[in-house]
């Protein structure tokens, strides 16, 4: 098979959660363990950092990867889903895995695919682990796909476990309370392995404390050691002043990920780096400063308050749940523009009603969808939006919606595309 046929085989043979939803979700680690056993357990042959959370885990994974690369470590990065190219999921030092590896791996694993009938995600996890071994990485950042306890990635024994935050998402799988969701995310905490928690609440802190106690795992709450004293957003860059409470020191960081929500993620990143340093990893302050200025360049991260066009400004953001949309609305409060044009689309299993309630009624709306079965129909979305006082037109795909917005927008307007990772990935300018 060539590369195109290989991808076609993977997409057609394996159930994808991103396309069809909960029916593709496997609620145990059996398949992943069996696949990796056939591969001689690659997950045991490289050092790793495991990252879970409702929001921010992608940004945190990429920031940490950029820092470790800058510090001189050969760094693997496994994330999901991808925006444009399947190979975005598996990178080493910011470079996507090569096509030949994917072809060869798929050929080799075909008998197990036919025997086990694994999910798409289970195969990609095994694929990533095998690639990192072949590339002889010093460390790999492994982002969970969904949850933590039963996530396919949860067969690694990492240097650190990192949980960014807990919010309402995937409640049909993870539970309908913050405590239940926190319990699933806490499942990545391992026996005697330090765990860094980014954000906490009165509901989630006791869950993490109890889980870590049972695992005898040192538990570190990042907010107890770092806080952001000030930040400013200028020229599509975020300047952040962070206070290190341990040393009573102030540090200024310039970040090329300019979303205001990164002021939360940077705290998690800095605490994780501190814990790595305690374990003997050689990471200098200059490495952190340099890396945070060019995360996108070093790792290829896209879709986090990313400007893809000027005059009018077009921004894409992969925010796709209530907490993510709240953070986007906070971003809009500090950005200058004339008129706001919002291109939105969601998948069916999200809390669409509560997300729609967060959007401003004064914007011009363009309702659309991603080209996947799981997407909410654009006309159904428009009807729900109208109930919430949001007016606009519907379009069958995001590029038609964008073209219409560009027709109506003037130079100083802002066009924001958000609501679905999959829809953002279909934007033609990206």
- DSSP character string of 220-260: EEGGGTEEEEEEEEETTEEEEEEEETTTTEEEEEEES---T
Taken in order 186, 191, 196, 202, is the CA torsion positive or negative? positive
CATH at residue 384: 3.90.190.20
Calpha distance 416→55 (Å, rounded): 19
Which of 299, 314, 331 is where one domain is finished?
A: 299
Instruction: Say yes or no: 289 and 313 in one domain.
Output: no
pLDDT digits (tens, 9 = 90+) for 93-146: 999 999 999 999 999 999 999 899 888 999 999 999 999 999 999 999 999 998
d(CA 239, CA 232): 5
Q: Are residues 79 and 121 in the same domain?
A: yes
Note whether 310 and 292 are same-domain residues: no
Strands 160-163 and 340-344: unpaired
Strand 364-367 vs strand 340-344: parallel, antiparallel, or unpaired? parallel
275 and 363, same domain (yes or no): no
**Burial track 27-60 (b if 16+ CB lie within 10 A, e otherwise):** eebebbebbbeebeebbeebbbbbbbbbbbbbbb
| pLDDT tens per residue, range 268-302 | 999 999 999 999 999 999 999 999 999 999 999 99
Q: Which range of residues forms the domain containing residue 400?
A: 306-425
Region 193-198: mean pLDDT is 98
Whether residue 361 is found in the same domain as residue 394 = yes
Is the model more confident about 194 or about 237?
194
φ, ψ (nearest 5 deg) of residue 368 = -150, -170
Structural domains of the chain, count: 2
- How high is the mean pLDDT of the chain? 93
In a domain, residue 430? The reply is no
Whether 129 is in a domain gets the answer yes
Identify the pLDDT of residue 171: 58
Question: In this structure, is residue 268 part of a structural domain?
Answer: yes
CATH of the domain at 133: 3.40.1190.10
Q: Are residues 289 and 383 in the same domain?
A: no
Can you read off the two tokens belonging to residue 50? 């495991």
Same domain, 256 and 358: no
Q: Are residues 194 and 248 in the same domain?
A: yes
DSSP per-residue string spanning 352-387: HHHHHTTS-TTSEEEE---SSTTBPPHHHHHHHHHH
Which of 242, 269, 299 is the endpoint of a domain? Answer: 299
What pLDDT, on the 0 to 100 scale, is given for residue 17?
47
Query: Considering the entire predicted model, what is its pTM?
Result: 0.93
Instruction: Say yes or no: 355 and 208 in one domain.
Output: no
Of the residues 299, 318, 344, the one at which a domain ends: 299
Question: Per the domain annotation, does 241 fall within a domain?
Answer: yes
- In this predicted structure, what is the pLDDT of residue 350? 87
Express each pLDDT in 295-325 by its tens digit: 999 999 999 999 999 999 999 999 999 989 9
How far apart are alpha carbons 340 and 85 in whole angstroms? 30
């Amino acid at each position: 098979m060539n590369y195109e046929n290989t991808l076609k085989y993977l997409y057609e043979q394996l159930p994808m959660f991103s396309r069809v939803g909960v029916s593709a979700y496997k609620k145990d680690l059996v398949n992943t363990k069996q696949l990796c056993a056939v591969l001689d357990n690659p997950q045991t042959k490289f050092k790793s950092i495991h990252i879970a959370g409702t929001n921010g885990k992608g940004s945190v994974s990429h920031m940490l990867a950029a820092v470790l690369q800058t510090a001189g470590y050969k760094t693997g990065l496994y994330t999901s889903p991808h925006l444009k190219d399947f190979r975005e999921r598996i990178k080493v030092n910011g470079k996507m895995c090569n096509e030949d590896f994917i072809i060869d791996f798929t050929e080799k694993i075909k008998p197990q695919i036919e025997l086990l009938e694994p999910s798409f995600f289970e195969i990609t996890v095994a694929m990533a682990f095998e690639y990192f071994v072949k590339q002889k990485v010093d460390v790999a950042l492994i982002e969970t796909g969904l949850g933590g306890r039963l996530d396919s990635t949860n067969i690694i024994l990492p240097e650190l476990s990192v949980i960014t935050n807990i919010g309402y998402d995937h409640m049909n799988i993870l539970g309908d309370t913050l405590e239940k969701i926190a319990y699933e995310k806490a499942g990545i905490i391992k026996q005697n392995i330090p765990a860094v928690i980014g954000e906490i609440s009165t509901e989630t802190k006791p869950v993490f404390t109890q889980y870590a106690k049972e695992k005898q795992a040192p538990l570190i709450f990042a907010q107890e050691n770092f806080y952001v004293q000030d930040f400013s957003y200028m020229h599509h860059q975020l300047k952040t002043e962070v206070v290190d409470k341990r040393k009573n020191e102030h540090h200024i960081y310039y970040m090329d990920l300019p979303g205001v929500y990164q002021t939360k993620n940077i705290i998690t990143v800095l605490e994780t780096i501190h814990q790595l340093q305690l374990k003997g990893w050689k990471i200098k302050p200059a490495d952190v400063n340099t890396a945070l200025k060019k995360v996108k360049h070093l790792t290829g991260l896209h879709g986090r308050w990313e400007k893809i066009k000027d005059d009018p400004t077009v921004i894409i953001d992969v925010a796709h749940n209530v907490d993510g949309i709240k953070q986007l609305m906070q971003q809009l409060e500090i950005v200058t523009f004339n008129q706001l044009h919002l291109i939105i689309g969601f998948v069916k299993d999200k809390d669409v009603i509560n997300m729609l309630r967060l959007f401003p009624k004064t914007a011009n709306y363009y309702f659309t969808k991603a080209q996947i079965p799981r997407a909410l129909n654009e006309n159904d979305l428009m009807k729900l939006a109208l109930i919430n006082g949001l007016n606009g037109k519907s379009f069958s795909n995001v590029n038609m919606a964008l073209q219409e917005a560009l027709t109506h927008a003037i130079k100083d307007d802002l066009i924001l595309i958000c609501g679905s990772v999959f829809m953002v990935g279909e934007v033609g300018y990206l």
